Amino acid sequence: MKGTMRERIVTAATELFYAQGLRAVSADRVIEQVGTTKVTFYRHFRSKDDLIVAYLERRAAWEREGIAQEIAQAGGDLDATLRRIADGIGATSCSPGFRGCPFINAAAEYPDPAHPVRQVVDAHRRWYLRMFESLLAPLQLGNGAETAADLVLLRDGAMVTGYLGDPAVVAGALYRSAQAVIAYARGA
């Protein structure tokens, strides 16, 4: 593993947490994977929960960068943006090793909304809402926030369906559903 010790710890945790679950992986398991000591681990992270927060923040950054690229490549075309996002979610959620949305998984393991892990999950969901609201803003919908919430719900469903489906089928269903939600919001 390359990078700083902190980066190496987060990288190892990312692999382990995603594959095995947040509560199932101990700090000792991460320490063993990295090949470091407890003293070094706790120099970088006060607790396992702090490491989980760092892991989720890394995952959030990756998702946000990916979505930003799709938006930029669509050049302001809402339909093209939705298609690109749907295709990306379909490909991701149906890929080998996919074990669900790390944020949905984290919310299931940390249901207390005051817990720092859950706060990262909630912040990422708010980001998704704001992103969809921003995409919908040019349409001047009277119910843009509700429509954005509907799109987040569709995204969540596609992430879960990916376990069971084909990427093209998941992407197509997500895209068509998003179009239907927007058409409904427009009064069509």
What's 12's domain CATH number?
1.10.10.60
pLDDT at residue 46 in the model:
96
pLDDT at residue 177 in the model:
97
Residues 38 and 60 in one domain: no
Short-list 71, 69, 68, CA closest to 82: 71
Residues 64 and 35 in one domain: no
Answer whether residue 145 shows pLDDT above 70: yes
Is 150 inside any structural domain? yes
pLDDT at residue 188 in the model:
61
* Residue 129 pLDDT grade (very low, low, confident, very high; cuts 50, 70, 90): very high
Distance CA 42, CA 6 (A): 10
Q: Which of 25-29, 75-79, 153-157, 159-163 has the lowest mean pLDDT?
A: 159-163
pLDDT at residue 105 in the model:
95
Fill in the amino acid letter for 168: A
pLDDT at residue 128 in the model:
97
The residue-averaged pLDDT of 111-125 equals 97
Q: Are 128 and 155 in contact (CB under 8 A)?
A: yes
Q: Say which CATH number the domain at 150 has.
A: 1.10.357.10
Residues 132 and 96 in one domain: yes
Short-list 111, 104, 85, 110, CA closest to 182: 85
Answer whether residue 155 shows pLDDT above 60: yes
Long-range Cβ contact pairs of 129-136 (< 8 A, separation 24 or more): 131/67, 135/71, 135/78, 135/81, 135/82, 136/78, 136/182, 136/185
Between 112 and 95, residue with greater pLDDT: 112
Q: Provide the 8-state DSSP code for 25.
A: S
Is 139 inside any structural domain? yes
Residues 77 and 165 in one domain: yes
State how many domains the chain has: 2
The residue-averaged pLDDT of 164-186 equals 92
Residues 13 and 64 in one domain: no
pLDDT at residue 160 in the model:
86
* Residue 167 pLDDT grade (very low, low, confident, very high; cuts 50, 70, 90): confident
Residues 40 and 66 in one domain: no
Q: How many of the other CB atoms lie within 10 Å of CB of 48? A: 21
Name the phi and psi angles at 93, rounded to 5: -75, -15
Residues 112 and 167 in one domain: yes
Answer whether residue 162 shows pLDDT above 80: no
pLDDT at residue 1 in the model:
53
Is 51 inside any structural domain? no
Q: Are 42 and 6 in contact (CB under 8 A)?
A: no
Residues 71 and 114 in one domain: yes
pLDDT at residue 3 in the model:
81
Is 122 inside any structural domain? yes
Residues 40 and 73 in one domain: no
Residues 85 and 13 in one domain: no
Residues 90 and 40 in one domain: no
pTM tops 0.85: yes
Q: Residue 128: helix, strand or coil by DSSP?
A: helix
Domain hosting 144: range is: 56-185
Q: What is the mean pLDDT of the chain?
A: 94
Is 147 inside any structural domain? yes
